[in-house]
Structure 1
Amino acid sequence: MVCQKVKIKNPAGLHLRPAGKLCDEAIKYRAKISFQKGNATTNAKSLLSVLAASVKYNDEVEIVCEGEDEKEALEGVVALIQSGLGE
């Protein structure tokens, strides 16, 4: 298991478009990918779960990856979030 904390840079948080990009990236990997915000854990491969997490601008989330390609998954997801998720 590998994990890393990252801040959300999108001014509108994880609304539909960036949440979709996050899910699209997470689905590329076999590892289980989730993120934690407070005490809640969210499946990063589920668009509805990501939207339900209500992640806002400047929130800090911890990306957690478990599985055979966990390191690549963590790098890919974190890089996408740090780039602003296409916005």
Structure 2
Amino acid sequence: MVSQKVVIQNPTGLHLRPAGILCKTAMQFKSSITFTFDRTTANAKSVLSVLGACVKSGDEIEIKCDGVDEQEALTAMVDAVENGLGE
């Protein structure tokens, strides 16, 4: 398992469009991908789970990847968040 903390950059947080982009990125990998925020763990491959975490701009999340392609998955997820998730 690998993990990394990252700050949400986009100004509106993880609303529907960026949550969809985050999920689309996560679903490209076989690894289990979750993130934790404020004592909540969300499945990064589920839009409803991501939206339910109520992550706002400037919040720090910890992305955790576990599986055969965990390092590639973590790199892609962190890059997606740092690039603003399409916004």
Shorter-chain-normalised TM-score: which range? over 0.9
Identity of aligned residues (%): 56
Structure 1 equivalent of residue 34 of structure 2? 34
Q: Distance in 1 between matches of 2:64 and 2:84?
A: 19
Structure 2 equivalent of residue 85 of structure 1? 85
Map residues 1-87 of structure 1 onto 2, 5 A cutoff: 1-87=1-87
Residue type matched to 1:10 in 2?
N
Q: Distance in 2 between matches of 1:44 and 1:17?
A: 14
Using the size of structure 2 for normalisation, the TM-score is 0.98
Deviation at 1:13, TM superposition (A): 0.3
Say which SS state the counterpart of residue 3 (structure 2) adopts: strand
Using the size of structure 1 for normalisation, the TM-score is 0.98
Unmatched segments (≥5 aa) in structure 1: none
Aligned alpha-carbon RMSD (Å): 0.4
Q: Distance in 2 between matches of 1:57 and 1:6?
A: 11
Unmatched segments (≥5 aa) in structure 2: none
Q: Distance in 2 between matches of 1:51 and 1:86?
A: 16
Say which SS state the counterpart of residue 13 (structure 2) adopts: coil
Question: Where do 4+ consecutive residues of structure 1 move more than 4 Å?
Answer: none
